[in-house]
Chains A and B, each alone.
Chain A
C-alpha cells in the first residue's frame, strides 16, 4: 500500500486517542471512589496525575497538526484527524472534571449522602467509555445510542440536585422547629452544611458535564465515520 508511513501514523493516532480515553476513564473511576469514600490520598493522586493527561493531550494535538500540515489528509483520513483533534479536547476536559469530583470528597468524608455519586459517576463514566469504544470500533449506532442516553442522564442529575436542595430545606425547617426547643444550630455547623451541599451540587453538575463530553465524543465519532454532523449541533 502506498504511503505506508502515513497510514501507520493514522493508525497510531487512533490507538493513542483510545488509550487516552481509557486513561481518562480510569481517572474517573478513581475520582468517583475518592468522592464516595472521602479517601484523600486517592483524591490527591487523581489531582496530581492530571498533568499526564494534559501532556498526552498536547502530544496528540501536535500530531494532528503535523499530519494536517505535512500529509494533507483528505476524505475519511481528514475526518479521522479532525474528529480526533476535537475528541482529545473533550477527553482532557473529562480528566479536569475528574479532579474536581475527586476533590469534592474532601478530608472530612464523602460527598453529601443525598447524592448517589457512585450511581451518577458510573453512569457518566460508562458513557465516556462507550463513546471511546464507538470511536475505536467505528460504530455509528453506538454513537447515536450514547447521544440518546444523555436526556435520561440529565434527568437523573436534575433529580439528584433536587434531592440535595430538598434535604437542605428540610434541615432548615428542622432548625426552625428547634428554635423553640433546646438549642439552635450554631453558625459553624451551618457553614459546614452549606459547604457540603454546594459540593454535592457541584459534583452533580460536573458529572452531568462529563456525560455531555461523552456525547461530544460520540458526535465527532459519527462525523468521522459517516460525515454526519447530526449530533454535533
Chain B
C-alpha cells in the first residue's frame, strides 16, 4: 500500500497557514510534534508542558506508570480526547505542518490519517470484509474496495488466515486475529500514523508476538506510536521511547537503546529497573 503525503483537504475544511505560530516548524522527517502541550481533566493536569517530535516511519513507544498521562497524550494526537467533555487541551499538536487543534480541522478526517488501535480488539459485529471496508465506505472511497480489503488484510498479516471466510463475522476470529483485523481496519483508509494503546495487553504471548512482528513491518509504511505497560515490549519493538512519569511529565525521550541501557535521568532508571512504579 502506497503512502502519500498529508492531504490537507482530508484534515481541514479550509486550509490556512497558522497565523500565530512563530515557532520552528517540525524538523524534516517528523510525523507528529507536540509543542508546549498541556492537558487538563477539569482541574487536574494530565499532561505537563510536553514538547516532543515523533519521527515518521518509526515505532515510538510511550511508557510510564499508570496515570502518568501516556494514553492521554496518545489520544491528543488524533483528538480522541475531544469526546471527553471535561478535557481541555492547551498548546499544539502538529501533523503535516499544521496544528490539529487549529480552527479548521475536521477531527473525523484527521482520524483517517491518524488511525487508532485499542487495548481490546473491537471488531464490529459485521463480516470480516465489512469490518475492513467500513472506513472506506464512510469516506466515500470510489476505488476497488475488495482490492483494498485484500491489501489491508495482507498488510495486517491476516489475509492467509481469512481469505476463504471474508463473509464470516469478525467476532468469530480469535483474540489475536481480531486485533489484526482492527489493524487492517485502521490501515484501510491509508493513514500516515497508527496510534496503538496497549494493543497486546489482552492477548496471549503467541498472538502478542505476531502483533509485535506486524508492528515492525507496519513501520516500513507508517509512523507507529504505541503505549505499552510492557517495558520489554517497548525495548523489543520501538526505535524511540518516551518516558512519562506521574503528573504527565515527559521525563526522558531518546533512542530506545539509550533509554534501556543508559538513561540520563535517575527517575527513569529507577522506573525501568522496577525500583518504583
Nearest Cβ on chain B to A106's Cβ, whole angstroms: 49
Nearest Cβ on chain A to B264's Cβ, whole angstroms: 10
B59 at the interface (CB under 8 A from A): no
By a CB distance below 8 angstroms, the chain B residues around A2 are 274-277
A73 at the interface (CB under 8 A from B): yes
Q: What 0/1 readout, one digit per residue, does chain A (48-89) give for beta carbons within 8 Å of chain B?
A: 000000000000000000000000111111110000000000
> How many A residues face the partner with a CB closer than 8 A?
14
By a CB distance below 8 angstroms, the chain B residues around A77 are 273
Residues of B236-277 whose CB lies within 8 A of A: 259-263, 268-269, 272-277
Residues of A208-233 whose CB lies within 8 A of B: 227
Name which residue of chain B comes closest to A72, CB basis.
B232
By a CB distance below 8 angstroms, the chain A residues around B235 are 74
By a CB distance below 8 angstroms, the chain A residues around B259 are 75
Name which residue of chain B comes closest to A71, CB basis.
B274
Overall SS of chain B's interface: helix
By a CB distance below 8 angstroms, the chain A residues around B232 are 72
Nearest Cβ on chain B to A110's Cβ, whole angstroms: 48
B231 at the interface (CB under 8 A from A): yes
A72 to B273, CA, bound (A): 9
A2 to B262, CA, bound (A): 21
Given contacts A227-B261, A227-B262, are A75 and B274 in contact (CB under 8 A)? no
By a CB distance below 8 angstroms, the chain B residues around A73 are 273
Interface contacts (Cβ under 8 Å), in number, total: 38
A72 to B272, CA, bound (A): 11
Tell me whether A74 and B231 are in contact (CB under 8 A): yes
A184 to B123, CA, bound (A): 101
Nearest Cβ on chain A to B65's Cβ, whole angstroms: 11
Residues of A1-19 whose CB lies within 8 A of B: 1-3, 6-7
Tell me whether A74 and B275 are in contact (CB under 8 A): no
A73 to B261, CA, bound (A): 10
User: Which of B232, B262, B273 has the most A CB atoms < 10 Å from its CB?
Assistant: B273
A73 to B259, CA, bound (A): 13
By a CB distance below 8 angstroms, the chain B residues around A76 are 262, 269, 273
A2 to B272, CA, bound (A): 12
Name which residue of chain A comes closest to B276, CB basis.
A2
Nearest Cβ on chain A to B271's Cβ, whole angstroms: 10
Given contacts A74-B235, A75-B269, are A3 and B274 in contact (CB under 8 A)? yes
Tell me whether A78 and B274 are in contact (CB under 8 A): no
By a CB distance below 8 angstroms, the chain B residues around A74 are 231, 235, 260-261, 272-273
Could you tell me which B residues sit within 8 Å of A by CB distance?
A: 231-232, 235, 259-263, 268-269, 272-277
Q: List 28 A-B contacts (CB under 8 A).
A: A1-B275, A1-B276, A2-B274, A2-B275, A2-B277, A3-B275, A6-B274, A7-B275, A72-B232, A73-B273, A74-B235, A74-B260, A74-B272, A75-B259, A75-B260, A75-B261, A75-B262, A75-B263, A75-B268, A75-B272, A76-B262, A76-B273, A77-B273, A78-B260, A79-B261, A79-B262, A227-B261, A227-B262
Q: What would 11 more interface pairs be, CB under 8 Å, given A1-B276, A76-B269, A78-B261?
A: A2-B275, A2-B277, A3-B274, A6-B274, A72-B232, A74-B261, A75-B261, A75-B262, A78-B260, A79-B262, A227-B261
